[in-house]
Chains A and B, each alone.
Chain A
Amino acid sequence: MIQRAGPDAIVVGAGIVGAACAATLARDGWRVTVLDREFAAAGTTSVGMGHVVVMDDSPEQLALTAYSAQLWRDLRPQLDARAEFDACGTLWIAEDAIQLDAVEQKKATYRAARVAADVIDARELREAEPGLRDDLLGALLVPDDAVIYPPGATIQLLDLARRSGATVREGVDVREIVPNGVRCGNETLHADIVVNAAGAAAPALTPGLPILPRKGHLAITDRYPDLCRHQIVELGYLTSAHAMTSESVAFNVQPRSTGQVLIGSSRELVGWDASLNHAILGKMLARAAQLMPALRDVSIIRTWTGFRPATPDKLPLIGRWDPVPGVWVAGGHEGLGITMSLATAEIIADQIAGRAPQVEAAPFSPMRVLSQPVEGATA
């Protein structure tokens, strides 16, 4: 192992965001220690879908996802089969004329951000995805979007970090992040900087971060090769993802490298209750079967839930947390942590080094939360 003489950094959380931060900081010469209370990718990283997807819910989200998706493509030659990187592209499908107009607008928005995007018509959509309902009007194809297997990618990011001298300690339960250090059990570890990348658990370590666990259900089918060829999302997905209060479902399917199809998505705010909600799971699967009738006759072999780390303003928290000296935050990515992980790491590494990040990072500063009213607060 390379022994670095540089300053020390502790990254709390070995999910994909923490792993990306570790790899990037170690690359920059930091002596990195990653701590995880369980093991690599044990939390949200292992229960999500694995999108590398450009999203345009806001200009800031578009800039960050486009930048991070490019970083994933740049990293791809360094990833092996464990990451299951599949450049399958995304299809945003239109059910009616209004959505078809929205598809055209979305194309313009993506192209203005230098993201490849093409509108395909009803016939082309049927050829591209024969399993979909045959009366859909068309879709936006975002050909450079991809699907990965997040735990596999996380393990490889941690390997990259180790090759740059980082240490990964699993089973270390950080209880508190203090100025320039962390407390875990009887041990206090000191470092020049601490990055809170604890996902949905981040606010327990850095009180004041407005991150809530936003529950989701997923289902995975048996292997049906070629049943689904692209990541497919309904245009209403962003509406579902944006509304913070109500429970919602939206059609989102992904082909996996095994030939399985991963079916989502649902959103609920119910605290840390991980139990299956059969009503919402049923709604989610009914929506999937409605838009993709080929799914009606398949076997689903597993269903589960997970918690997205959600923020009230739908943007992640990336940057220095002034109330506690030496502490940086890399969290609150909700359902886009896989996509945004690499850009998050670059922004933090740039800011720590005094470099200008490749995207305007001010909108992601966690300091914004100190001047925002807390959603739902009655005071």
Chain B
Amino acid sequence: MSNSSAGSVHVVINGQRVDVSAGITVAAALLNTGESSFRSSVSGEARGPVCGMGVCYECRVTIDGVAHQRACLRVVADGMRIDTAAVNVR
């Protein structure tokens, strides 16, 4: 992993620079910062992590511009851009 220090890394959540613990998942980072709505469903309802192990796909977020990344399977990295609810009904 790029973040060898046991301390924290900087990520950018919805344009805001935030310090989060190194080595945790994006899902954990978002929940720790109070973000429970990760994305919106087809009908516009808020969605967030359910299974925490990559199966339910409910926790998808946009990471570094790539949509539909499962937040529970990705570990935070320094400078990572995380965008929630980037997918909306047209």
Q: Which residues of A contact B (CB under 8 A)?
A: 222-226, 257-259, 297-299
Q: Is the interface of A mostly helix, strand, loop or mixed?
A: loop
Q: Given A222-B67, A257-B89, A258-B89, 7 more contacts at CB 8 Å? A: A223-B42, A223-B68, A223-B87, A224-B67, A225-B90, A259-B87, A298-B68
Contact of A225 among B60, B66, B88 (CB under 8 A): B88
How many angstroms between the C-alpha atoms of A257 and B88 in the bound complex? Answer: 11
* Whole-angstrom CA separation of A222 from B70 in the bound complex: 13
Contact size range, B: under 10
In whole angstroms, how far apart are the Cα atoms of A222 and B60 in the complex? 11
Residue on B nearest A259 in the bound complex, by CB: B90
Q: How far is the CA of A223 from the CA of B66 in the complex (A)?
A: 12
Residues of chain B within 8 A of A257, CB atoms compared? 89-90
17 A-B pairs with C-beta separation under 8 A: A222-B60, A223-B42, A223-B67, A223-B87, A224-B87, A225-B87, A225-B89, A226-B90, A257-B90, A258-B42, A258-B90, A259-B87, A259-B88, A259-B89, A259-B90, A297-B66, A298-B68
Nearest CB on A from B77, distance (A): 19
In the assembly, what is the distance between CA of A289 and CA of B88, in Å? 24
Kindly supply a per-residue 1/0 record for chain B positions 36-71, scoring 1 wherever the CB is within 8 Å of any chain A CB and 0 otherwise.
Answer: 000000100000000000000000100000111000
Give the distance in Å from the alpha carbon of A84 to the alpha carbon of B14 in the complex: 31
Distance, CA A223 to CA B60, complexed state (A): 11
Chain A residue at minimal CB-CB distance from B43 = A258
Give A299 to B68 CA distance when docked, in angstroms.
8
